[in-house]
């Protein structure tokens, strides 16, 4: 019960610090909305995999060319999906090898479309295809069938936007690490202002006081950063986002960040140096982790990128991009235990130093 009361007291005190709210909510929100807004330039390129190369399929492609820039693709759909994921194309249409044959028989061909989400551009391209198929079928049917009796078949398959999902989550985790400098400053201030000294004169044990500082920092960072993440997802209308997985990653990041705060606070007593250490450490780990993740395709990446696996950001990205939990979660928890052990101290000795 004492531990719970101490946690609530610490949380209330931290929430009164506007710098924490700015760094964990307002700053990430502003930056992500700005960065995502600048990246969302209008794309009007459509990919076509034409498995038939018939007169009818060419006519359909020419109709689309009147409104869009068409990129004719080869190979299987799985070989080209990254063009959608990287925002190079708004969608890919797969024209089947029996397209013209079915139209000639008065049957409806089945066209597959792959895209991240329905937008004005993709809805317009769907409409162009539907109109073409309806007009072709009306020409083949001599009984004057109307549009109402023609149901086109455009099979839609949405592509998960993992790139934006990873970017949003990892940036929020990065801002959380940066915000750790504010919490480390606060703990050192508590020591300098003799607040911790007054706390240890009460019936509270060292473990309860230290535990309350750790848990309150963990909860504040995790909850506020998760709130920021959910707001970003809702405002940007990120399709197919895995919110539970994103929140899990953020809370794992909070465990590591809090452990680093404890370590920095233990070994660096100067407020300015402690804050600077948190900022530099966060920046270095962020660069190593993200660069290493983005060079997985290299056969022989530079040694510095191989070292990047020691970064918690590398393992956070693994969780978001692959959905694999066991190994990344174990490694992140072990990392937090290492930092917490480095920062573990007898509170009375820390106060007296």
pLDDT tens figures, 67-93: 778 888 888 888 888 787 777 777 888
- 127 and 140 belong to one structural domain: yes
223: pLDDT strictly greater than 80:
yes
Looking at per-residue pLDDT, the higher value among 181 and 35 belongs to: 181
- 125 and 54 belong to one structural domain: yes
Pairing of strands 110-115, 153-158: parallel
Looking at per-residue pLDDT, the higher value among 5 and 40 belongs to: 5
Where would I find the beta strands (DSSP E) of 18-152?
45-50, 69-73, 91-95, 110-115
Q: Which of 158, 184, 212 is the last residue of a domain?
A: 158
Grouping H, G, I as helix, E, B as strand and the rest as coil, residue 194 is: coil
- 187 and 334 belong to one structural domain: yes
Top-ranked range on mean pLDDT: pick from 111-120, 160-169, 194-203, 248-257: 248-257
- CA end-to-end span of the chain: 29
255: pLDDT strictly greater than 70:
yes
253: pLDDT strictly greater than 90:
yes
Indicate the pTM of the whole model: 0.67
Q: Which of 104, 137, 158 is the last residue of a domain?
A: 158
CATH number of the CATH domain containing 81: 3.40.1710.10
Q: Which of 97, 128, 158 is the last residue of a domain?
A: 158
275: pLDDT strictly greater than 90:
no
> In this predicted structure, what is the pLDDT of residue 150?
36
Distance in angstroms (rounded) separating the CA atoms of residues 270 and 256: 22
- 321 and 254 belong to one structural domain: yes
Domain count, the chain: 2
pLDDT interval class at 153 (50, 70, 90): very low
> In this predicted structure, what is the pLDDT of residue 148?
39
- 172 and 315 belong to one structural domain: yes
pLDDT interval class at 350 (50, 70, 90): low
39: pLDDT strictly greater than 70:
no
- 261 and 123 belong to one structural domain: no
- 194 and 102 belong to one structural domain: no
Pairing of strands 91-95, 45-50: parallel
261: pLDDT strictly greater than 80:
yes
Distance in angstroms (rounded) separating the CA atoms of residues 263 and 256: 11
Mean pLDDT of 131-157: 55
- 227 and 97 belong to one structural domain: no
CA count, 13 A, side-chain hemisphere, 48: 23
- 30 and 63 belong to one structural domain: no
Distance in angstroms (rounded) separating the CA atoms of residues 246 and 251: 9
> In this predicted structure, what is the pLDDT of residue 143?
45
> In this predicted structure, what is the pLDDT of residue 251?
95
Top-ranked range on mean pLDDT: pick from 15-19, 206-210, 306-310: 15-19
Domain membership of residue 90 as a residue range: 45-158
Q: Which residues of 65-94 are buried (b: 16+ CB within 10 A; e: fewer)?
A: eeebebeebeeeeeebbebbeebebbbbbb
> In this predicted structure, what is the pLDDT of residue 302?
58
Top-ranked range on mean pLDDT: pick from 82-96, 188-202, 223-237: 223-237
309: pLDDT strictly greater than 80:
yes
* Nearest residue to 276 via CA among 168, 188, 167: 188
Looking at per-residue pLDDT, the higher value among 163 and 144 belongs to: 163
DSSP 147: G
- 151 and 292 belong to one structural domain: no
Average pLDDT of every residue of the chain: 77
Looking at per-residue pLDDT, the higher value among 85 and 331 belongs to: 331
- 295 and 323 belong to one structural domain: yes
> In this predicted structure, what is the pLDDT of residue 224?
92
> In this predicted structure, what is the pLDDT of residue 152?
44
- 110 and 178 belong to one structural domain: no
The predicted-structure confidence for 291-304, as pLDDT tens digits, reads as follows 765 544 444 455 65
> In this predicted structure, what is the pLDDT of residue 250?
94
> In this predicted structure, what is the pLDDT of residue 203?
67
Grouping H, G, I as helix, E, B as strand and the rest as coil, residue 157 is: strand
* Nearest residue to 251 via CA among 226, 288, 285: 226
């Amino acid at each position: 019960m004492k531990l719970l009361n101490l946690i609530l007291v610490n949380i209330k005190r931290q929430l009164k610090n506007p710098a924490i709210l700015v760094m964990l909510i307002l700053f990430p929100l502003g930056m992500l909305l700005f960065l995502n807004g600048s990246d969302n330039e209008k794309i009007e390129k459509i990919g076509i995999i034409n498995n038939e190369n018939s007169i009818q399929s060419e006519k359909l492609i020419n109709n689309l060319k009147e409104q869009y820039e068409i990129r004719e693709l080869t190979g299987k759909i799985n070989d080209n999906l990254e063009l959608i994921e990287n925002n190079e194309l708004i969608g890919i249409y797969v024209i089947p090898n029996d397209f013209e044959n079915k139209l000639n028989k008065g049957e409806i061909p089945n066209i597959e479309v792959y895209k991240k989400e329905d937008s004005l551009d993709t809805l317009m391209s769907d409409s162009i295809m539907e109109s073409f198929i309806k007009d072709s079928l009306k020409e083949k049917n001599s009984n004057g069938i109307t549009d109402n009796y023609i149901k086109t078949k455009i099979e839609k398959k949405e592509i998960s936007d993992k790139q934006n999902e990873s970017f949003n989550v990892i940036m929020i985790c990065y801002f959380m690490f940066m915000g750790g400098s504010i919490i480390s400053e606060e703990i050192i201030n508590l020591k300098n202002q003799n607040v911790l000294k007054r706390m240890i004169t009460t019936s509270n044990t060292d473990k309860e006081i230290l535990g309350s500082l750790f848990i309150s920092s963990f909860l504040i960072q995790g909850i506020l950063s998760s709130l920021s993440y959910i707001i970003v997802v809702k405002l940007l209308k990120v399709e197919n986002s895995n919110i539970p997985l994103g929140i899990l990653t953020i809370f794992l990041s909070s465990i590591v960040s809090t452990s680093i705060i404890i370590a920095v606070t233990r070994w660096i007593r100067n407020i300015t140096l402690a804050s600077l250490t948190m900022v530099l450490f966060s920046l270095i780990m962020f660069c190593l982790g993200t660069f290493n993740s983005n060079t997985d395709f290299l056969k022989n990446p530079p040694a510095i990128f191989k070292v990047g696996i020691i970064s918690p950001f590398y393992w956070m990205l693994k969780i978001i991009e692959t959905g694999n939990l066991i190994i990344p979660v174990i490694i992140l928890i072990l990392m937090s235990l290492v930092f917490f052990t480095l920062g573990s101290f007898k509170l009375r000795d820390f106060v007296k130093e």
